[in-house]
Amino acid sequence: MESAAETIQRIFGDARSSVGAEMAETTTHYERLQKIEFPRPSSTRYIAVANQKGGVGKTSTTVNIAAALAQAGARILLIDMDPQGNASTALGAQHNSGDVSVYDVLEGRRGIEDVRQRCAEFPSLDVVPSSIDLSGAELEVANLDERTYLLKHALDSFLAQSEDHYDYVFVDCPPSLGLLVINAMCAVTEMLIPIQAEYYALEGLGQLIHTIGLVQKHYNSSLLVSTMLVTMFDKRTLLSREVYEQVKKHYPNIVLDTTIPRTVKISEAPSFGQSVISYDPRGIGAVAYVEAALEIAQRSPTVLAAIELKQGEN
Ligand SMILES: Nc1ncnc2c1ncn2[C@@H]1O[C@H](COP(=O)(O)OP(=O)(O)OP(=O)(O)O)[C@@H](O)[C@H]1O
Ligand SMILES: [Mg+2]
């Protein structure tokens, strides 16, 4: 029987039609990815998605990588550490002001088990929602001795008593280098840095790497910058390709081969309380995020070994 890719190729023509070629290519990718088994990490991976620059694709990346991995069978806990609550919105989690949220977790009133919500679209994905109340937390906890470890302690005590095993714990960070982000960096072993393919992309990256260095030195010596992902990539522009080459040159083993294209479907999905993985599963945005998730899954043995090595050194 004719495959979907062949049908598209037949209708839209051969490679001389760029639209047809692109659709056929995406469909072929989609079909290939459906058949691939995603390896599960041998132990939990703890990943904070951070970049103090606003609007670079942190939340889209957290939500869609988590959704893609959940779809492939992994158990995921996603913690929204941004008072904007965009990840909570995108996954359809209830997060009005006054609702229990990560705010109550950080301030010790609730445990993660009390506030986590199961994502309606993906039953193996649990969300710890944030709410606008979280914006007060940085000031409210500023004088506590343990202020950088509030999330870590909550996560450790939740996981110690939870019967659920998670393959991945993701933390979506706000666009800052404040206490909420430091809490995320102290609670995880890996940083995933989304980098927007635009002119100022690398500006600010030095500051972020410097801050991560300080956290490694003072609070969490096993923290590893494991992954960078170039987002909003436009393959027609030289600029996008240049940004990718620059990042690749500086961080050759960290940046994923997959880039996330700029596509309206990725920006539309949250308004339906959905990830792009379920909103437009065969589109270029979803396919790219699934491909990136596969790369992340396939790198688990290398990344976990590197973290273990760091932990052994301490
Ligand atoms: N690949 C993409 N193509 C098109 N639009 C995108 C893409 N990725 C993200 N967007 C849109 O760009 C905006 C910023 O993305 P997102 O919210 O993921 O970034 P962020 O880094 O989490 O932002 P913030 O710093 O505010 O937390 C959103 O409107 C989002 O829908
Ligand atoms: Mg965000």
- The CA 86 to ligand 1 mean position distance, Å, reads 10
Side-chain-facing half-sphere of 73: CA atoms under 13 Å: 10
Ligand closest to Cα of 80 equals: 2
> Ligand 1 within 6 A of 60 CB?
yes
Report CA-CA distances (Å) from 21 to 7, 10, 13, 15, 260.
12, 10, 8, 5, 18
pLDDT for position 24: 82
* Measured distance CA(48)–CA(276) in Å, rounded: 20
Atom 25, ligand 1: residue with shortest CA distance: 54
Residue 136 identity: G
Predicted confidence at residue 14, as pLDDT, reads: 55
Cα-to-centroid distance, 231 and ligand 1 (Å): 9
**Which of 276, 301, 271 lies closest to 290, judged by CA?**
276
pLDDT score, position 80: 98
Residue 232, both tokens: 């909003």
- For 203, list phi and psi in degrees, rounded to 5: -70, 130
Distance of CA 222 to the CA centre of its chain: 19
Q: 24 to each of 14, 19, 20, 278, how far by Cα in Å?
A: 9, 8, 6, 20
Which listed CATH number (3.30.420.40, 3.40.50.720, 3.20.10.10, 3.40.50.300) goes with 40-313? 3.40.50.300
> What's the token pair of residue 129?
């929602």
| Test site for ligand 1: of 267, 280, 287, most ligand atoms within 8 A of the Cβ | 267
Distance of alpha carbon 282 from alpha carbon 122, whole angstroms: 17
Pocket test for ligand 1, best of 49, 56, 59, 65 (most atoms within 8 A of CB): 59
Give per-10-residue mean pLDDT for the chain (314 aa).
69 62 85 93 98 97 98 97 96 91 96 96 97 92 92 97 96 96 98 94 89 96 97 94 94 96 97 95 97 98 96 84
pLDDT of residue 127: 98
Domains of the chain, residue spans = 1-35, 40-313
State which H helix or E strand residue 79 sits in: strand 76-80
Q: Tell me, what's the pLDDT at 201?
A: 81
At 61 the pLDDT is: 98
pTM above 0.85, yes or no: yes
In this structure, what token pair is assigned to residue 163?
A: 């019967």
Residue 300 has what pLDDT? 98
| Listed residues: CB within 5 A of ion ligand 2 | 58-59, 86
Is 283 touching ligand 1 by the criterion CB < 6 Å?
no
